[in-house]
């Protein structure tokens, strides 16, 4: 184990490099989550559809994602996409992570939407609202609030899962740590440092989700 003095000195001296990696990690996580939200909501509606074929498509997608390792999904999508079209590693990694997160977000949204009392659908219909207006104004805002704790957990998982992008040569935090550790023959020091960065980012994200949840409750969104 490295001494505290050595660890602190390395932490300070490597800060510019790791902050650059942290920024890329944040950008990758944010982009994949935003795309994953759209994918998740889309497949949630397919799951809730009364058309069996649409249910089957959603179930197949969710089963595929849950039944295969994330690293395999990243490799298949990365090498598969880059064989067909010329895209950046960032975009390929973002799409792979979004594809993975979308399945879990889909189940979160589906459960949240199903938890809304059926009477609210009927009340909206009696007021002359269309299905789109009912979901946009009544159902989805409530479903989002109910799903927020689970969504926050999934966002944290997505942040940590972004470390797997290192295996397709993305210069995010984990790749920075393993590269610097190998170059300096000091793997443990850099692994501890990168763990601190991930811990700080996860704690900040958790705090942000809690703030949003409290603010929405105080605003009367419930």
CATH of the domain at 67: 1.10.3720.10
Reference 172, options 13, 30, 1; nearest CA is 30
List the one residue out of 66, 21, 11 whose CA is nearest residue 162: 21
- pTM summary value: 0.85
According to the model, what pLDDT value does residue 149 have? 86
Whether the Cβ atoms of residue 58 and residue 106 lie closer than 8 Å to each other: yes
Per-residue confidence at 221, pLDDT binned at 50, 70, 90?
Answer: very low
Give me the sign of the Cα torsion angle 190, 196, 197, 198: positive
146 contacts 81 by C-beta, under 8 angstroms: no
**Gap between the Cα atoms of 66 and 141, Å rounded:** 27
In whole angstroms, give the CA distance from residue 92 to residue 21: 18
Angstrom distances, CA of residue 198 to CA of 90, 163, 185, 222: 19, 10, 22, 32
Instruction: For residue 222, name the pLDDT band (cuts at 50, 70, 90).
Output: very low
**Bigger pLDDT: 129 or 161?**
161
* Cα–Cα distance for residue pair 209/206, rounded to 1 Å: 5
Is residue 8 over pLDDT 90? no
Give CA–CA dist 25/18, Å, rounded: 10
Number of domains in the chain: 1
Is 50 exceeded by the pLDDT of residue 173?
Answer: yes
Other CB atoms within 10 Å distance of the CB of residue 64: 12
- What is the rounded average pLDDT for all residues in the chain? 87
> Residue 116's domain spans which residues?
4-218
Q: Is 183 in contact with 17 (CB distance < 8 Å)?
A: no
Within 10 Å of residue 89's Cβ, how many Cβ atoms? Answer: 14
Where does residue 44 rank: exposed (0-12), middle (13-18), buried (19+ CB within 10 A)?
buried
Determine the pLDDT at residue 220.
Answer: 57
């Amino acid at each position: 184990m490295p001494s505290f003095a050595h660890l602190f000195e390395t932490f300070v001296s490597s800060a510019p490099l790791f902050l650059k990696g942290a920024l890329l990690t944040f950008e990758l996580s944010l982009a994949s989550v935003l795309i994953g939200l759209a994918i998740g909501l889309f497949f949630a509606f397919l799951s809730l559809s009364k058309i069996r074929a649409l249910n089957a498509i959603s179930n197949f997608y969710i089963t595929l994602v849950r039944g295969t390792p994330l690293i395999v999904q990243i490799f298949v999508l990365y090498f598969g996409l880059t064989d067909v079209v010329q895209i950046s590693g960032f975009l390929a990694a973002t799409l792979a992570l979004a594809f993975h997160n979308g399945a879990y977000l889909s189940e979160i949204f589906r459960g949240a939407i199903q938890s809304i009392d059926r009477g609210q659908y009927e009340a909206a219909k009696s007021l002359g609202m269309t299905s789109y207006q009912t979901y946009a104004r009544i159902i989805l805002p409530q479903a989002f609030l109910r799903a927020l704790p689970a969504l926050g957990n999934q966002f944290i998982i997505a942040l940590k899962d972004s470390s797997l992008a290192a295996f397709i040569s993305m210069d995010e935090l984990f790749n920075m740590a393993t590269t610097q550790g190998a170059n300096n023959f000091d793997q443990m020091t850099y692994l501890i440092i990168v763990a601190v960065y991930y811990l700080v980012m996860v704690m900040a994200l958790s705090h942000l989700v809690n703030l949003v949840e409290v603010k929405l409750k105080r605003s009367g969104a419930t």
